[in-house]
Amino acid sequence: MSNRFLKGGSKMKKVVIYVIIVVAVFLTIPIIRANRLAQQSYGYFRSVTVIVDAGHGGRDGGASSKSGVVERDLVFDITKMVEEHLRLNGFNVVLTRENECDLASEYAKNRKKEDLACRVRIFNETDSAIAVSIHANAIDNTRWSGAQVFYDAKSLENKELATHIMNAMRNNIDGLKRDQRPISNIYVLRHSRIPTALVEVGFLSNAAEAELLADVNYQKLLAYAIFEGILSFVETQHSTEVIEGE
């Protein structure tokens, strides 16, 4: 074989190596950028406080099922699961109640009013925060079922938070077809000055759903869906801030 062909082969090898290097660099850029964005997002999460509000407490057990599932205890268990997901992902978390008690003082004349006022005060006195209040539903019509998210329409962020959580719940819970809904007569929603949503995890008045709600695995599913919705909302807010800052 002549030197001309040997030299040509050597040049071809250099070209191939160069092309491989260029392709590798271009393939690596999106990965590096994705990792950088993930790190930025995790750092951003650390600047956000999520207030998770387990409804009722103490003497106020809230709704209950015929089988003995009590709203006060059910929503507290789900709240603790949501807290765990949030903390593992870098969020600051505040729970309005840490046990079965309500927030009213020992000698409160109107325990319910004082309890709700305390919750709202926690919401409004926490910097860089969003709030999610967790409840369970019950009505006279035992056929009604399904989780649903409510918000006060005074703020677009309220609607966006509720929408993200409702979407996550539909994605995680088979057969759930409910939509987020504005409501004006819920004290903690009406008086909150931060993005706030209220999640009704289901109907304790429906025997089949009450049985589901008593199942720890279903509680975990609900908790993950609520967390996923919060995460989606915060990521969207962060992305918007990044775009506006560029």
pLDDT at 197: 98
The reply to whether 94 and 189 lie within a common domain is yes
* pLDDT of res. 227: 98
Asked if residue 6 has pLDDT above 60, the reply is no
pLDDT for the residue numbered 1: 52
8 A C-beta contact, residue 151 and residue 180: yes
**Residue 95 domain boundaries:** 48-245
Which pLDDT belongs to residue 244? 53
Contacts 24+ apart (CB under 8 A), 139-142: 139/203, 139/205, 140/205, 141/205, 142/205, 142/206, 142/207
> How many independent structural domains does the chain possess?
2
pTM above 0.85, yes or no: no
Residues 54 and 21 reside in one and the same domain: no
Q: Are residues 148 and 202 in the same domain?
A: yes
Mean pLDDT of the chain: 86
**What pLDDT score does 239 carry?**
73
By three-state DSSP, how is residue 9 classified?
A: helix
Output 140 or 21, whichever has higher pLDDT.
Answer: 140
For residues 64, 178, 133, 90, the Cα torsion angle rounded to the nearest 10 degrees is 130
Q: Which residues of 43-70 are buried (b: 16+ CB within 10 A; e: fewer)?
A: ebbeebbbbbbbbbbeeeebbbbeeebb
Q: What is the pLDDT of residue 13?
A: 52
Q: Which residue has the higher pLDDT, 55 or 25?
A: 55
Nearest CA among 50, 143, 31 for reference residue 93: 50
pLDDT bucket at 11, cuts 50 / 70 / 90: low
Q: Express each pLDDT in 63-81 by its tens digit.
A: 999 999 999 999 999 999 9
Same domain, 190 and 147: yes
Q: Look at residue 90 and give its three-state secondary structure.
A: coil
Is residue 135 over pLDDT 70? yes
The tens digit of pLDDT for each residue in 171-189 reads 999 999 999 999 999 999 9
* Stretch 223-234: mean pLDDT: 98
Cross-strand partners of 130 = 50
Q: pLDDT class for 125, splitting at 50, 70, 90?
A: very high
Q: CA 149, CA 213: separation in Å to the nearest integer? A: 16
> Any idea what the CATH number is for the domain that residue 142 is in?
3.40.630.40
Predicted pLDDT at 237? 87
Same domain, 56 and 143: yes
| Mean pLDDT for the stretch of residues 45-53 | 93
pLDDT score of 26: 40
Half-sphere exposure of 170 (CA within 13 A, CB side): 11
Looking at the structure, do residues 202 and 84 belong to the same domain, yes or no? yes
Least confident of 26-35, 130-139, 215-224: 26-35
Verify that 19 and 115 share a domain, yes or no: no
